[in-house]
Chains A and B, each alone.
Chain A
Amino acid sequence: MTFFETLSFYFTFPFVRYALIVGVLVALCSSLFGVTLVLKRFSFIGDGLSHVAFGATALASVLKLSDRFEMPAVLALTILCAVLLLRTGQGAKIGGDAAVAMISVGALAMGYLILNVWGTSANLSGDVCSTLFGSTSILTLSKNEVWLSVILSVIVVAVFVLFYNKIFAVTFDEGFARATGIPAGAYNLLVAVFTAVIIVLAMNLVGSLLISALIIFPALSAMRVFRSFRAVTVCAAVLSVLCAAAGILVSIIGGTPVGSTIVAVDIAAFLVFTLAGRLLRFKGGTVK
């Protein structure tokens, strides 16, 4: 079989189509908010929340929530933690970074503990591995999960587009935004909540340990080459979608783990963009 025949053979299976749809959507959403998170120096919040999502998933599986309720429950808990993290980040007794580290490692430990003590699964380490690295869950999505992912992605993209200018203003200069009456706190909250949504969406794709890569790599790559906020945002989105699609296809054909393959493609793209940025600057060319 040629390469394309192999591909079209695989596409006859619904789970392959589901994986590609959800993968592309998740990549798109995570890259959009990734630009803001990286620029606001909030990348660590993404990392912390992904561990919270692992803990929440462990809890949900022990409580034997049905498929229909598992994702919304995990989502609610992660959003709650996002709000808490943002609050503690702003002038509480425990410093922002320490609070994130505490919550994130705490959630990770509790999640594993809960699974060990109350878990009934015959293959505990397999379950843990797939939640952390997303090894197979993207290929076992139910139709409901696909629909939920689609709806959430549409909401994420719509909110980002509608508030694009305000998100730019609050990211570039929070002091100015606040002083001129823009509710910067509300926009920070919006960014944190949507980061939580994206992370829960992305858990199925790359697993909770690798989500940060999906959020930060496209943004960092785009920033190597482009120098306006709009160009960086558009480039990050396009790049993220292409990397995710390529990663999923390679992993299906090559039998490699989905999450790490996507991240590997993202890393390769980052190296290419870094090199391209160097060359452009060396030539003194201006990139818009």
Chain B
Amino acid sequence: MTQLKCTGLTLGYEGRAILENLNFEVEAGDYLCIVGENGAGKSTLMRTILGLQPAMSGSVEFGGGVTRREIGYLPQQTPVQRDFPASVREVVLSGCLPRQGLRPFYAKEDRDRAAEAMERLGITALARRCYRELSGGQQQRVLLARALCATRKLLLLDEPTAGLDPHVTAEMYRLIDGLNHDEITVIMISHDLEAALTWAKTILHVGGRVWFGPAERYRTEGIGFAAERGGAAL
């Protein structure tokens, strides 16, 4: 079952294309890692999939029962959030809003869903704590719990381990892998090629040469390794 289909996608800013004629499909239950050098267009691709910026040409289609309001998204943190007074519960609950429509307040169902997501990510004890006072790893778990409130099907993660120490990073990857085993499709941007090859089922390499296929074949064909080793990203 295809959940996401990108056809002839060309991306860029102000008339200058940085990625051209991109074609790929994401099946339900897949774990896709988008890799490539800095500035290759990984984030632009994710922003386009999310509808945050228009594509220069081509199309992004959702299918298999996924609509735009049923996507979980883990963005990179913004400067605003660093001094934002919000409790963990408030942040996680806000993930239920997309399904809410015009209803003004949260229903019991939303609160249950948020409690479940916090339990799943082991942050129930932090529910009343202030978001800005948590460690980086805890904050990422909170944002992941919010994404889980928004979706049961498709998660888009923009560098979920950026700025985390190795131990917390490994824990984060295990959590994401666990979610994927629960049949949630994962699309993740990563700088960390080793981790991408360890965890992902499918790789999309952008920048320079575009390559799309199973992770094992990416390893044997060795595409990208030469370029990545040369770059500062690794």
Known: A41-B80, A228-B90, A288-B128. A176 touches B68 (CB 8 A): no
Cross-chain contact A180 with B80 (CB below 8 angstroms): no
Interface string of A174-194 (1 = CB under 8 A from B): 011111111000000000000
Cross-chain contact A228 with B130 (CB below 8 angstroms): yes
Cβ of B42 within 8 Å of any chain A Cβ, yes or no, is no
Cβ of B106 within 8 Å of any chain A Cβ, yes or no, is yes
Cross-chain contact B106 with A165 (CB below 8 angstroms): yes
Cross-chain contact B84 with A165 (CB below 8 angstroms): no
A residues in contact with B90, CB < 8 Å: 168, 228-230
Q: Report the Cα distance A27→B132, complex, angstroms.
A: 28
A residues in contact with B71, CB < 8 Å: 179-180
B residues in contact with A164, CB < 8 Å: 104
A residues in contact with B75, CB < 8 Å: 173, 175-176, 179
The A contact surface, by secondary structure, is helix
B residues in contact with A39, CB < 8 Å: 80, 84
By beta carbon, the residue of chain A nearest B49 is A179
Name the contact of A229 in the complex, choosing from B52, B69, B87, B146 (C-beta under 8 A): B87
Cross-chain contact A169 with B85 (CB below 8 angstroms): no
Cross-chain contact A227 with B104 (CB below 8 angstroms): no
Question: What is the distance, in angstroms, from A91's C-beta to the closest C-beta of chain B?
Answer: 11
Q: Report the Cα distance A40→B78, complex, angstroms.
A: 11
Question: How many pairs of residues, A versus B, come closer than 8 Å at their CB atoms?
Answer: 94
Interface string of B78-108 (1 = CB under 8 A from A): 1011011111001101110110100011100
B residues in contact with A161, CB < 8 Å: 104
Cross-chain contact A172 with B94 (CB below 8 angstroms): yes
A residues in contact with B50, CB < 8 Å: 178-179
Cross-chain contact A179 with B85 (CB below 8 angstroms): no
Cross-chain contact B130 with A162 (CB below 8 angstroms): no
Known: A179-B73, A228-B130. A163 touches B104 (CB 8 A): yes
Q: Report the Cα distance A178→B90, complex, angstroms.
A: 18
Q: Report the Cα distance A169→B94, complex, angstroms.
A: 6
Cβ of A213 within 8 Å of any chain B Cβ, yes or no, is no
B residues in contact with A182, CB < 8 Å: 97-98
A-B contact pairs, 17 of them (CB 8 A): A41-B80, A165-B104, A172-B86, A175-B52, A175-B73, A176-B73, A179-B50, A180-B69, A180-B97, A181-B98, A223-B83, A223-B85, A227-B86, A228-B85, A228-B86, A230-B87, A232-B85
4 A-B pairs closest in CB distance: A227-B130, A228-B87, A179-B50, A180-B98
